[in-house]
């Protein structure tokens, strides 16, 4: 038996999905070990081995592939626990990271503090060199000055150095020479070079992305090295791949050097899996929502493709590498409910995490959370949480809600729990609006694909508030992000700056740039992954151009051409038309007669991998509503309080079964709630296809 294993580390639980020799995916969950994610990963692998009747070493010796989604980089940014970082810039440009092109998040709040400085000004030094906008050297690099700066950094005891020189993306010779000297003068210091991290125009974006990469890079590198060593010590000789923020896979060594590309590593897997499953249902336009223990991640999918952006902000720092356009808020099962001094109830963004976790986990947690509220309202069975592997304590949940929420607000615990439930749902509805209404899309015409350990419980009420008529809850909702790691392709991304405009461009030069990027991407695919030797799968080429109108400081990436064929005038004209249409959709206006400006050319090379087979349910009677396994009092505001609610065993349902709300379906890893007025049918993949009202 040969195994392929996917591991997604979340804020509360680590999810593992594994397949072997044509068998359908199977799921294992284990608590996340925040102090060292690798410990939770090894615990999850040990549980898989136990299920398969093997030792851990035997399992790993028979595993050909481990695919990993990690939160190490994200946690380092959120918690401000990156490494001591220095920045070396061209003379006169060390403050670009603070000037931020004049951007302020709150223009009417002069007291709003700046973001956490990843490299304080005393650790930002300069060298007197200059390359012009054509890549020509105007002022040569003074090697003696560089050595002086490196000696100063050594005295500062930095662990990482970001190097970002002006126009190095056109001529990286000076950055390369600095890197050569730094490796000799600063052994063991992590180097982040802007011409490698983000070789494109726009100085602030480049320095910000390069600095973030330096700040989190050693954390990611140490973690992946430690994990690889632990796996190797247990006889793992297969390939370790890591999910990138763009939704593609790459080997661990590449992600160690380009750690900034792993900032949304975990959530990206769920979007990839949702897009794959939605294609089976012929859903082209939908929103994915992933509610775990700590966060709520939302992504818009249009025409079957997840939205990708190069304009992300992570912890108030610009990260301009390609990333799935995932909007994240602090709303999960572990989100803490609290009352401010003015008597207003809030939920999140603080989370109880895995340790100590919600109060009902009975691990020492005393703060009331969303999970505690769901338990008090009757949506969760305390004896069937995680399929019965982790019993909950209702009394602890009641005490926490009563002490921290109900008494301060003069409510009873039921009213307080309902308030927590309503507020967290309202927060999540606003999160969906951020990627739909705020981007010019009407959510009422979209479906909702809900997953994560808590997503299926809340999706029904969110769909009602948003006017969305269809909800899809996959059978593997509890670990869909991990499943997505097994469904993702290996990808290499390249970018090249090409300032031009739609009426003044050089088609030959564009084809030359794309050809060079494709050659580099192909070499990377072979070097890093041995693609030709491994026979990974079919190679697919995708290309885009970043376009904007004159005077704009933001761009829209628009596809151009088909595959790797040479571009023609018609391809460029089609891209220009598509840009006008996208601009109208996103910003409610366009200038079809105005020239369109080009900024960057982008290319992605993807090796399409084999998809594991999905489990199929036995057929059932299409008209049959199965008998519930029992009843429980659950709270529904539409019915003015608690009502006797049928409870169904999700593992006992068959394809074609139909359910009518209000009811609750208990899967081993999650709970699906159908609210009054909603119906659900079960398909042969075990997914719950939920509709509201006449739909």
Q: What would the pLDDT profile of 226-278 be if each residue is shown by its tens digit?
A: 999 999 999 999 999 999 999 999 999 999 999 999 998 888 999 999 999 88
Question: Residue 620 has what pLDDT?
Answer: 65
CATH number for position 303 = 3.30.420
Question: Residue 534 has what pLDDT?
Answer: 46
556 & 590 share domain = yes
Tell me how far apart the alpha carbons of residues 220 and 228 are, in angstroms, rounded to a whole number.
12
**pTM (2 d.p.):** 0.88
Q: Give the torsion sign (CA, 625, 631, 632, 635).
A: positive
- Classified as helix, coil or strand, 162 is strand
599 & 516 share domain = yes
CATH number for position 233 = 3.30.420.40
Residue 495, pLDDT > 70, answer yes
Residue 432: alpha-carbon gap to chain centroid: 15
504 & 552 share domain = yes
62 & 125 share domain = no
Mean pLDDT to the nearest integer, 284-297: 91
Domain termination residue (choose one: 200, 216, 232) = 216
Mean pLDDT to the nearest integer, 76-81: 87
* Structural domain includes residue 619: no
Residue 535, pLDDT > 50, answer no
Nearest CA to 596 out of 577, 582, 624 is that of 577
98 & 200 share domain = yes
* Structural domain includes residue 331: no
Q: What would the pLDDT profile of 438-466 be if each residue is shown by its tens digit?
A: 888 899 999 999 999 899 999 999 999 99
The most confident of the ranges 105-109, 402-406, 618-622 is: 402-406
* Structural domain includes residue 192: yes
Tell me how far apart the alpha carbons of residues 449 and 440 are, in angstroms, rounded to a whole number.
20
Residue 537, pLDDT > 60, answer no
256 & 269 share domain = no
Residue 199, pLDDT > 60, answer yes
- Classified as helix, coil or strand, 348 is strand
Residue 189, pLDDT > 60, answer yes
466 & 509 share domain = no
Q: What would the pLDDT profile of 42-68 be if each residue is shown by its tens digit?
A: 999 999 999 999 999 999 999 999 999
Of 538 and 124, the structure prediction assigns the larger pLDDT to 124
Residue 593, pLDDT > 50, answer yes
DSSP annotation of 405: I
Mean pLDDT to the nearest integer, 277-292: 91
315 & 454 share domain = yes
Report which secondary-structure segment, H or E, holds 107: none
Question: Residue 243 has what pLDDT?
Answer: 94
285 & 368 share domain = no
Domain termination residue (choose one: 607, 639, 667) = 607
Instruction: Please enumerate in sequence order all residues whose Cβ is within 8 A of that of 368, keeping only pairs 6 or more positions apart, or say none.
Output: 336, 337, 358, 359, 397, 400, 401, 404, 405, 416, 420
494 & 597 share domain = yes
90 & 210 share domain = yes
For the chain, the domain total comes to 6
* Structural domain includes residue 407: yes
* Structural domain includes residue 472: yes
* Structural domain includes residue 534: yes
502 & 584 share domain = yes
Question: Residue 623 has what pLDDT?
Answer: 58
Mean pLDDT to the nearest integer, 369-379: 96
Domain termination residue (choose one: 159, 191, 216) = 216
Residue 693, pLDDT > 80, answer no
Question: Residue 120 has what pLDDT?
Answer: 96
**Residue 610, Cβ density class (10 Å: 0-12 exposed, 13-18 middle, ≥19 buried):** exposed
Domain that holds residue 356: 338-424
* Structural domain includes residue 327: no
Question: Residue 497 has what pLDDT?
Answer: 92
Averaged pLDDT score across all residues of the chain: 91
Q: Using an 8 Å Cβ cutoff, are 681 and 661 in contact?
A: no
Question: Residue 695 has what pLDDT?
Answer: 44
* Structural domain includes residue 152: yes
């Amino acid at each position: 038996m040969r195994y392929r294993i996917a591991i997604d580390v979340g804020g509360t639980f680590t999810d593992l999905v594994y397949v072997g020799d044509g068998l359908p995916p199977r799921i294992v969950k284990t608590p996340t070990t925040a102090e060292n994610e690798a410990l939770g990963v090894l615990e999850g692998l040990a549980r898989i081995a136990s299920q398969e009747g093997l030792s851990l070493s035997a399992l790993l010796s028979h595993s050909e592939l481990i695919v990993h989604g990690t939160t190490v980089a994200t946690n380092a940014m959120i918690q401000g626990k990156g490494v001591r970082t220095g920045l070396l810039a061209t003379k006169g440009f060390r403050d670009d990271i603070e000037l931020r092109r004049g951007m302020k998040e709150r223009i009417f709040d002069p007291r709003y503090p700046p973001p956490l400085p990843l490299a304080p000004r005393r650790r930002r030094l300069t060298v007197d060199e200059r390359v012009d906008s054509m890549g020509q050297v105007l002022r040569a690099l003074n090697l003696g000055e560089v050595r002086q700066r490196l000696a100063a950094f050594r005295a500062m005891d930095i662990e990482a150095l970001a190097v970002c020189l002006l126009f190095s993306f056109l001529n990286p010779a000076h950055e390369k020479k600095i890197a050569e000297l730094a490796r000799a003068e600063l052994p063991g210091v992590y180097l982040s070079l802007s011409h490698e991290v983000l070789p494109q125009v726009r100085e602030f974006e480049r320095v910000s992305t390069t600095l973030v990469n330096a700040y989190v890079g050693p954390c990611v590198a140490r973690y992946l090295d430690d994990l690889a060593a632990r796996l190797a010590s247990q006889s793992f000789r297969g390939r370790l791949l890591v999910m990138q923020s763009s939704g593609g896979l790459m080997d661990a060594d590449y992600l160690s050097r380009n750690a900034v590309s792993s900032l949304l590593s975990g959530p990206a897997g769920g979007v990839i899996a949702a897009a794959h499953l939605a294609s089976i249902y012929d859903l082209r336009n939908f929103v994915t929502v992933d509610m775990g223990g700590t966060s709520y991640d939302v992504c818009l999918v249009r025409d079957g493709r997840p939205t990708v952006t190069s304009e992300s902000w992570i912890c108030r720092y610009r990260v301009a590498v390609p990333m799935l356009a995932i909007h994240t808020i602090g709303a999960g099962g572990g989100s803490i409910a609290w009352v401010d001094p003015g008597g207003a109830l809030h939920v999140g963004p603080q989370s109880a995490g895995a340790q100590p976790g919600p109060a009902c986990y009975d691990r020492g947690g005393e703060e009331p959370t969303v999970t505690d509220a769901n338990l008090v309202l009757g949506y969760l069975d305390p004896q069937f949480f995680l399929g019965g592997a982790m019993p909950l304590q209702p009394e602890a949940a009641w005490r926490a809600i009563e002490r921290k929420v109900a008494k301060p607000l003069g409510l009873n615990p039921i009213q307080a729990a309902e308030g927590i439930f309503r507020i967290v749902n309202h927060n999540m509805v606003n999160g969906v609006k951020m990627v739909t209404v705020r981007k010019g899309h009407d959510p009422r015409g979209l479906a909702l694909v809900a997953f994560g350990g808590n997503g299926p419980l809340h999706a029904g009420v969110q769909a009602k508030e948003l006017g969305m008529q269809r909800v899809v809850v996959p059978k593997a909702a509890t670990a869909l992000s991990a499943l997505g790691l097994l469904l993702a392709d290996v990808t290499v991304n390249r970018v090249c700056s090409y300032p031009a405009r739609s009426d003044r461009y050089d088609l030959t030069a564009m084809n030359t740039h794309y050809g060079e990027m494709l050659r580099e991407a192909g070499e990377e695919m072979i070097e890093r992954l041995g693609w030709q030797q491994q026979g990974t799968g079919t190679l697919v080429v995708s290309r885009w151009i970043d376009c904007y109108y004159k005077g704009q400081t933001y761009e829209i990436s628009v596809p151009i051409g088909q595959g790797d064929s040479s571009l023609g005038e018609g391809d460029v004209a089609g891209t220009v038309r598509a840009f006008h249409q996208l601009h109208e959709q996103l910003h409610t206006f366009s200038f079809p007669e105005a020239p369109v400006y080009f900024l960057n050319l982008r290319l992605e090379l993807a090796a399409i991998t084999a998809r594991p087979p999905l489990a199929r349910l036995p057929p059932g009677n299409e008209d049959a509503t199965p008998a519930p396994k029992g009843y429980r009092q659950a709270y529904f505001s539409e019915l003015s309080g608690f009502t006797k609610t049928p409870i169904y065993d999700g593992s006992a349902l068959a394809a074609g079964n139909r359910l009518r709300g209000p009811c609750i379906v208990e899967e081993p890893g999650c709970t699906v709630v159908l609210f009054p007025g909603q119906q659900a049918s079960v398909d042969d993949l075990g997914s719950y296809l939920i509709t509201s009202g006449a739909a």
